[in-house]
Structure 1
């Protein structure tokens, strides 16, 4: 593999402009594909096989109007006073205008709807008094005399009174179920309007949402405030201002490390080209498949982070070789063959972990993994081809000006520093216990993790979505933000009266459950055998009590089927979110087991050891649980919520743990590879086990430190993203990378390997014989290089031998051959 990559790097260096033009052509094609075939993004998720998805499909087929997408508009007065007639007229006109939007099927005017509801209640009260007189006449047998005397209309017979009494009883039961359900707050200062779209929720076109808001915005002003729910005002752009900050920080770190603007700009440039290609190519599929807004953003986040890091690894190796006097294009080829081998293997681990998301059986998660894996794949290709081409054009400008002059003069730049024994090696047991204790402490909140999907309460406090959520919560109750749809399917042949009775009986059973605020029966449709009830909980859509209520309602189905032959199910976005969270939680253990198994196989291949893979995987589990614990503490418990923009803590994003497993595993193996391969290289070249640990750690920690800071900076930029789902993801990945790089890879791993000594590299001989040689270190390239030592190279070698002697002296014993030779 190293030899192949060497040839690729050399070819790219010789044909630099051809490679650059080829990549620009690929970029143009991907942008063109996006422009031609790109569709819309959504914030809704579907999992085939769940009850909510089954009911949604059934409603789509049998009762499409019950499965339409909806959005909520909240009107309120600035001073909390009752709406004036002028304000009501302006709101009414704006809502009438919104019905002209092409994708809108209906708009509920809250003032008209509340007026009709109040009128029905008043008519029922008046009718109850009049009917009471008729009932008295019927029961006393004087109804016929009253009709003959003209006291009551002639059509008022005992049968008529019976019918009216039955209808009044049904109406009273319905009103009792509905309770205080309404569209205008009790103070008359807040009103809720509902917009129904022809399309289902995930398929609503952004232009229809924008059209509704543009029409309704006309009602704003003169004492009226207009706010929109997440379904209407969601921002689905994939890049915002906050993400730019992470890139700036990454560029600053690169400049500090490389000390040249050109050198710092190159990894950022190649990463941006990579994510532009990956993002536009992925978005070109959004017209054919349902794609959530978070899907391309995840690819963007990963593509930027690994793209910068991978380019940095090759660039850093190339700069080292230039300083050692290696000819420019030969250095590029060698860097591509050596560091490029590690990049290819590291990229493959990330890609495998992400593609393995398909084993969860969850389509949207598999698509997210595929898009993210494609972004990493493009980043690897860019690193192995475009980076060498650009390095060839830049020449010695990658080096600081003082070093350039020395290299041009044919001198080798000596940058060998004296070694100070790392504390993880000097006090391994203390380092191991201390680092493990920190991770375990951070992981404690992980035990109380709840999964869910974000609602309006998770939006930024200054957003219209958050304001709409809070206004509804304060004036109508938290549950009005997440009503549920209960679907009762009754047997064929059931009469209208029986169906109506069944609907109300079911509603009364639901109303008797805990945490139910209102039950609103929908009019029966004679074309289907479905009865619909809207259930408004007392708790918000993301609260644990609402999750319990969904289970309690579903638990009524067996008794209903036994007594009436009917079945009951719960649909709607609130129930769907609960089902999705449960499916994801069930899939997580299997996926984690598969990822760990993959890691063990790959690491055995690379390190030819059974102990190192086990230690590496255990370290990954520690950093994963610590990162998840930090997420729970901030986003579920609300610790430091003000700093991270968490106004109302809630459950953890349901698919975040699964994504964290795949992404952090791949990134953890990156750093494991770049640090421990140096240790293995030193060990197989004759250094004692402990000296090899020091050489690998000292040789790789600078670039790994920079890479981890860069990657964490890119991820941290997404903590303040405009997308609610991305913020905890950015936080979790940033803290996960920092913990894994600094606490696990540069503290726990060296400490454990120091304690184990040569036992760390144990492998059965039979297994060692059958394992293929993946040559991640690029030994095959070094072995075939001519050994011609210049005076400057001799001085560098002697300096390194001095360092080896210092390592041996610090460890208190000589190397295998008496000296620590390179």
Structure 2
């Protein structure tokens, strides 16, 4: 690998335009196909083997139209009743026009079709009503244009003075694409950090270009792969967030290594070869560590987590490709112009001899206990709120005020009660019973309807709706509590364990489904698989560091330090969202529950990113240790060398992650705040003070490793640089070690 990367770097210096053209052609082909086919999105939550999944399967089989997109159209008149002659006429005229909208297959009006029928879609005070609108495309295919056409068709109601709002999937479509404002803000802040860290506009621009190339390639690859299996919309957002963060960081390390080689007097061709052979190999290893963390999500056995895991891993992988493949070609073109647009600098003699992080290392070496205890106290402040962490579910009532989903949620809740926003579905698989004994089926249906209506916590029951072939039936059960209320979860459990089993006779199967029930099943399975995911990710990361550093102590302390960073992220989420202390600042109007899978995803991502910073720091320390065999001196000089770059990288990633907190989706806000603050804490507090302090206290024990095991394990050398006497064909053969530099 070392020779191959070095040769590629030299090739990029000799033939930059040819390489860059080849990369651009490949990127254009991939992006062109992606633009043509798009990204297949599916936000439905499925849990294989669960009761809600079985209910969904039966529902899709006997009611195929239910698998397609649908939504509600809410009508509200604050001054009079919607059932007045004028109000009813306006609503009926609107729904008649909605039926003619392209893509609409059915409209179920709020008014009864026959005298004496119940009116569950009209509020008790008569001021609010809602209609069901069904489409001929899947939910993910509903667009903002579809919502706009439906709302435009409802103009007779708005002209009559009624308020008309979209609800459900229609409201999600009406919210539209959040755009790229968050990414642009993150890039702008990252550009400022890069400009200060690198001191030149040209050098600042290269990591941004590399990251953007990796982002576009990653999204294109994800879009193409989604044609095999659709992914949730949130997966592309999380992938974009991680891709931008690591993409800028990885490119930064290569640019810094190239610039250092040039400042040491090496010619352009050799400097670029050295940068790719050392920093490039380090980027490959760093990407692998992040992939290990993300790969752990696949063990959960849940489609949502699997999608989040592989999409983020693909995004990271393409960021690595952009940094190691495309960036060297761009550096080959830029060459000596890397310092164009340099900032004026004033540096004191003291600063030139020993940087800020070197001086911190000296103080840590003199008082390691102070650094360790002080760091732990700082982390304890951030971790402490975890004691009050309670996982829950989010619903439209947690969206920012003024968004389409929140407006319709609040209006329906005030008119019909909170449960109308998350009805449960009781699905019956009747098999052949309906055809052989229809009278029995009718008795069962009546008994089930009566039993459901009598359950405490049930507000109303609609149904049964029987399929045309008589093989299935469906009831809609509206709870008295909101979808996110724990009492709704208790109701689902009661229905499954106590109410439905006695009624499932004569071969009839009864299941509880719907998105609310699916989220409850999802939470249960996450809790069941969590220990396995944690154990595998920690074990694989530990083994990687054992091979890398030839030590048991360093990987063990790294795993413990990473867990502290993850704990800090959990504490931040609890304080900011679950307890609501920062929700006002984040555009929310109250506490927001933390979804069950958020901690698991944060663990997978943060563990990988923390390993990156551990590698960046300890590889620098290890280089000095192998040179001087003085642990204290190695810690001081290694921190002094790596601290500035690691801090700059963390500030960049913090900027990118936190910028996503500006999006409306509370889940994205949680990812942005949790990841951003935790990464900054990890780089500054954990890697800057805690790890060096512990390494000073442990002394030579850091580097203990059995000789017999050292002979058996493969070598990955993070310090070696190419020899000065390399041949034109590459580097001379080494002892089998793969060279990866300390940054």
Q: Same fold (TM over 0.5)?
A: yes
Show the counterpart of 1:612: 554
Find the counterpart in structure 2 of residue 663 from structure 1: 605
- Mapped to 2, the partners of 1:54 and 1:746 lie a distance apart of 51
The answer to whether 1:216 aligns with 2:154 is yes
Of 366, 386, 391, the match for 1:426: 366
Alignment of 1:257-336 (within 5 A): 257-336=197-276
List per-residue Cα deviations over 1:748-804 (Å, max 9, x = no partner).
11111111111111111111222222112224x257579xxxxxxxxxxxxxxxxxx
Bigger shift: residues 355-364 or 326-335: 355-364
Residue 52 of structure 1 and its aligned partner are, at CA, apart by: 1.4
Distance verdict in 2 for CA 1:681–1:520, change over 3 Å: same
Match of residue 354, structure 2, among 410, 417, 422? 417
Measure the CA separation in 1 of the matches of 2:445 and 2:388.
38
**TM-score scaled by structure 1?**
0.82
Pairs within 5 Å for 1:301-700? 301-399=241-339, 415-417=352-354, 419-422=358-361, 423-452=363-392, 454-489=394-429, 492-493=432-433, 495-525=437-467, 527-556=469-498, 559-560=501-502, 566-700=508-642
Q: Within 2, Cα distance between the matches of 1:704 and 1:757?
A: 23
Correspondent of 2:673 among 731, 735, 751: 731
**For the residues of structure 2 that align with 1:649 and 1:73, how far apart are their CA atoms?**
28
Q: Which runs of 5+ in 2 are unaligned?
A: 346-350, 728-743
Q: 1:338 to 1:285 in 2, by over 3 A?
A: closer
- Once residues 67 and 332 of structure 2 are traced to their aligned partners in structure 1, the CA distance between those partners, rounded to angstroms, is 59
CA contact (8 A) 1:12 1:386 kept: no
User: What is the Cα deviation at residue 513 of structure 1?
Assistant: 3.2
Structure of greater Rg: 1
CA distance in 1, matches of 2:248, 2:479: 48
Partner of 2:116: 120
| 2:96 corresponding residue in structure 1 | 96
User: In structure 1, the residue corresponding to 2:462 is in which secondary structure?
Assistant: strand
- Counterpart CA distance in 2 for 1:2 and 1:637 is 51
**How far off is 1:654 after superposition?**
3.4
CA distance 1:740–1:217, change in 2 (3 Å): farther
Q: What secondary structure, in the 3-state scheme, does the structure 2 residue paired with 1:357 have? A: helix
SS at match of 2:716: coil
Change (3 A) 1:437 1:282: same
**Are 2:30 and 2:217, in contact at CA under 8 Å, matched by a contact in 1?**
yes
* Whole-angstrom CA distance in 1 between matches of 2:430 and 2:696: 70
Mapped to 2, the partners of 1:500 and 1:436 lie a distance apart of: 66
Q: Who is 1:195 aligned against?
A: 133
**Matched residues in 2 for 1:415 and 1:19: separation?**
37
- Pairwise CA distance, 1:377: 1.3
Structure 2 counterpart of 1:229: 167
Partner of 1:642: helix, strand, or coil?
coil
Whole-angstrom distance in 2 between the partners of 1:367 and 1:299: 10
Q: Summarize the Cα distance change of 1:257–1:200 in structure 2 as closer, same or farther, 3 Å threshold.
A: closer
CA distance in 2, matches of 1:190, 1:727: 32
Displacement of 1:713 after TM fit?
0.6
Distance in 1 between residues matched to 2:459 and 2:342, nearest whole Å: 75
Secondary structure, aligned partner of 2:460: strand
Q: Is the 1:342–1:777 contact (alpha carbons within 8 Å) kept by the matching residues of 2?
A: no
| Alpha-carbon contact 2:122-2:130 (below 8 Å) kept | yes
Q: In structure 2, do the counterparts of structure 1 residues 469 and 695 end up closer, same or farther at CA, with 3 Å as the change threshold?
A: same
Conservation of the 8 A alpha-carbon contact between 1:45 and 1:202: no
Quote the offset at 1:421 in angstroms. Answer: 4.2
Partners of 2:673 and 2:288 lie apart in 1 by 24
Cα distance in 2 for residues equivalent to 1:646 and 1:415: 47
CA distance in structure 1 between the partners assigned to 2:58 and 2:8 by the alignment: 55
What is the alpha-carbon distance in structure 2 between the residues aligned to residue 208 and residue 290 of structure 1? 21
Partner of 2:731: none
Aligned position for 1:790? none
- After superposition, the C-alpha distances for 1:353-381 in whole angstroms (9 at most, x for unaligned) are 32343222223322322222121111112
* Residue 105 (structure 1) aligns with: 105
Distance in 2 of aligned mates of 1:526 and 1:632? 49
In structure 2, distance between residues paired with 1:37 and 1:395: 38
Q: CA deviation at 1:502?
A: 2.2
The structural deviation recorded for 1:186 is 3.0
Provide the rounded CA distance (Å) in 1 between the counterparts of 2:243 and 2:39: 22
Kindly state the Cα deviation for residue 56 of structure 1 after the two structures are TM-superposed: 1.3
751 and 263 in structure 1: CA distance in 2 versus 1, 3 angstrom threshold = same
Assess if the C-alpha contact under 8 Å between 2:202 and 2:339 holds in 1: no
CA distance in 2, matches of 1:29, 1:565: 55
Secondary structure of the residue aligned to 1:182 is: coil
Determine the C-alpha separation between the residues in 2 that align with 1:496 and 1:470.
42
Superposition deviation, residue 316 in structure 1: 1.2
- 1:688 deviates by 1.2
Unaligned runs of 5+ in 1: 122-174, 176-180, 406-413, 787-822
| CA deviation profile, 1:90-148 (whole Å, cap 9, x unmatched) | 332222222223433321222x23x75xx416xxxxxxxxxxxxxxxxxxxxxxxxxxx
Aligned to 2:134, the other structure's residue is in SS state strand
CA contact 1:305–1:714 (8 Å) conserved in 2: yes
1:372–1:236 CA distance, 2 compared to 1 (3 A): farther
**For the aligned residues, what is the CA RMSD?**
2.8
Please report how far the alpha carbon of residue 51 of structure 1 lies from its aligned counterpart in structure 2 after TM superposition.
1.6
Give the distance between the partners of 1:563 and 1:37, measured in 2 at CA.
48
Aligned partner (choices 716, 719, 724) of residue 661 of structure 2: 719
Q: How many residues align?
A: 715
**SS of residue matched to 2:691:** helix
Displacement of 1:521 after TM fit?
A: 2.7
Q: Is the contact between residue 460 and residue 645 of structure 1 (CA under 8 Å) also seen in structure 2?
A: yes
Q: CA deviation at 1:214?
A: 4.1
2:61 aligns with 61
1:327, distance to aligned residue in structure 2 (A): 1.7
Q: What TM-score, normalized by structure 2, do the two folds share? A: 0.90
CA-to-aligned-CA distance 1:718-764 (integer Å, 9 cap, x gap): 11124443221122211221122122211211111111111111111
Distance 1:707 1:766, change over 3 A: same
Q: What is the CA–CA distance in structure 1 between the aligned matches of 2:33 and 2:651, rounded to whole Å?
A: 34
Distance 1:424 1:18 in 2: 49
Mapped to 1, the partners of 2:524 and 2:289 lie a distance apart of 28
Q: What whole-Å deviation, never above 9, does each CA across 1:228-270 have from its counterpart, x for those lacking one? A: 2241132563742133111110111111111211111111111
